[in-house]
Amino acid sequence: MRKRILFFAILILCGFVVCVAQQSLNVLFVGNSYTQVNNLPQMVKNIASSMGDELNYQSNTPGGCTFYQHCYNNSMAMICNGGWDIVVLQEQSQYPSFPQEQVEMEVFPYAQRLVDSIYSNNPCCEPMFYMTWGRKNGDADNAVYFPVLGTYEGMDSMLCERYTYMAQEYDASLCPVGRVWRYLRENHSEIELYQSDESHPSLAGTYAAACAFYVLFFHRNPELITFSSSLPQATAQTIRSAVRSVVFDNLTQWQRPKPQASFTFEMIDNNTVSFFSTSQNVSNLTWYFGEEATSYNQPDDNAIEHTYSETGTFVVSLVAERHCMTDTARADITIADNSSINIINDEKEGSISFYPNPAKDVLNINCPENVKLTSVILCDMYGKIVAQNYCLSNDNKTISLNLDNIASGSYILQINTEKAAYTYKTMITK
């Protein structure tokens, strides 16, 4: 349900028109104080407005709220009401960094429940996890039980690992705010990202998060953002450059997988074709064979056959769909104006046949007992010989032409006997 509205700015001095694509999104933020402090949703909206985009948002961010609590509070009701383009999910700041067994019990099941509810009530919506950051000097209280949390690096790595897992496992996108913070800490330590509690974000920390969300929402280069909140211009620009390096330059890494349509095909006989889907990230496939449309809902069973009732060239399309995202693959299929076994009748020599037509790997030529083949020659439409077979034995009744290295297309087949020569058009389809 991403809405794209075109508006035009007329550049009078240059005498031409520039078309700019404006986007409008409805976003729900589900989280806690990490989302609420400095009003992150409003800051994303301000950035979007400065870029000519529109963000309509609602949020539910009680302090310290967990995924478990969101499954039973107003967040679930807001999700079930539908109408969202994106729903952002932020867990309590410490929970995802805890020991694996505890996370598997207290975090993962409720993250999955939230995502499943999003898809059930908003089929075209994009769930997006909000990867938060490690505390400035780690989580000393919990490091007693899980030592890796005793440093910023250890806690931050745990958060990154668990949020990445949730995004991949539950089919969601991931806003890597924690990765942006880490980049800034390692390369621009002069920028203070934390409040005095060494946990919640400073204005600069929230701005880094807001720029990252804007990129994930609208897919635009953050270095073009002009809104800096009340930060010094140099600081804001440094943050935007970091967001470009971490997020914008690696968008496909953070977005949920998009469908990729692709297929191969094989001629079964003169008018029946077997198609094989090699598509990825698919929930539904729809085939268009040029004659009719067939909906095909079993992507794990990748083969389907179609028999053409007419001859000619047909444009075959395969549309792969997933969460209202689509991708299309196309190919031309030529059905020849002759049968699979082609018979040449001659009053003196009887019937000579060749098959299959269209052919793929081998073309066979067969003649009756009283006829002696002398040669079989295959030429392209310009008369160039591409394959040939000279028949030296008197008992050759069937010979074959190997087509392994011959491209798809139309060809002329010349069949020579002791008494006559015959030419016929044939097709090769790989």
Which pLDDT band, with edges at 50, 70 and 90, does 304 fall under? confident
**For 263-335, which CATH superfamily applies?**
Immunoglobulins (2.60.40.10)
Q: Express each pLDDT in 234-288 by its tens digit.
A: 999 999 999 999 999 999 999 999 999 998 887 776 678 888 888 999 988 889 9
| Whether residue 115 has pLDDT greater than 80 | yes
CATH number of 3-254: 3.40.50.1110
Position 342 scores a pLDDT of: 56
| Whether residue 67 has pLDDT greater than 60 | yes
Residue pair 270/239 in contact by the 8 Å Cβ criterion: no
Which pLDDT band, with edges at 50, 70 and 90, does 344 fall under? low
> What pTM was computed for the model?
0.74
Residue pair 94/106 in contact by the 8 Å Cβ criterion: no
- Which segment of 17-26, 76-85, 123-132 scores lowest on mean pLDDT? 17-26
Average pLDDT, the chain: 87
What CATH architecture does domain 342-428 belong to?
Sandwich (2.60)
Position 395 scores a pLDDT of: 58
d(C-alpha 244, C-alpha 398), whole Å: 67
41 compared with 306, residue with greater pLDDT: 41
Neighbouring C-beta atoms of residue 75, cutoff 10 Å: 25
Dihedral sign (CA 400, 402, 407, 411) = negative
| Winning range, highest mean pLDDT, from 181-190, 297-306, 313-322 | 181-190
Q: Express each pLDDT in 28-50 by its tens digit.
A: 999 999 999 999 999 999 999 99
Which pLDDT band, with edges at 50, 70 and 90, does 418 fall under? confident
Which pLDDT band, with edges at 50, 70 and 90, does 7 fall under? very low
| Whether residue 393 has pLDDT greater than 50 | yes
| Winning range, highest mean pLDDT, from 13-22, 194-203, 406-415 | 194-203
| Whether residue 20 has pLDDT greater than 50 | no
Query: Which two three-digit tokens encode residue 226?
Result: 């002009």
Neighbouring C-beta atoms of residue 377, cutoff 10 Å: 18
Asked if 3-254 and 263-335 have one fold, the answer is: no
Which pLDDT band, with edges at 50, 70 and 90, does 389 fall under? confident
Position 332 scores a pLDDT of: 81
| Whether residue 414 has pLDDT greater than 60 | yes
Position 373 scores a pLDDT of: 79
Which sequence spans correspond to the domains of the chain? Answer: 3-254, 263-335, 342-428
Which pLDDT band, with edges at 50, 70 and 90, does 366 fall under? confident
395 compared with 246, residue with greater pLDDT: 246
Position 5 scores a pLDDT of: 35
Encode burial over 122-157: b for 16+ CB neighbours within 10 A, e otherwise: beebbbbbbbbbbbbebbeebeeebebbbbbebbbb
Position 429 scores a pLDDT of: 83
Position 42 scores a pLDDT of: 98
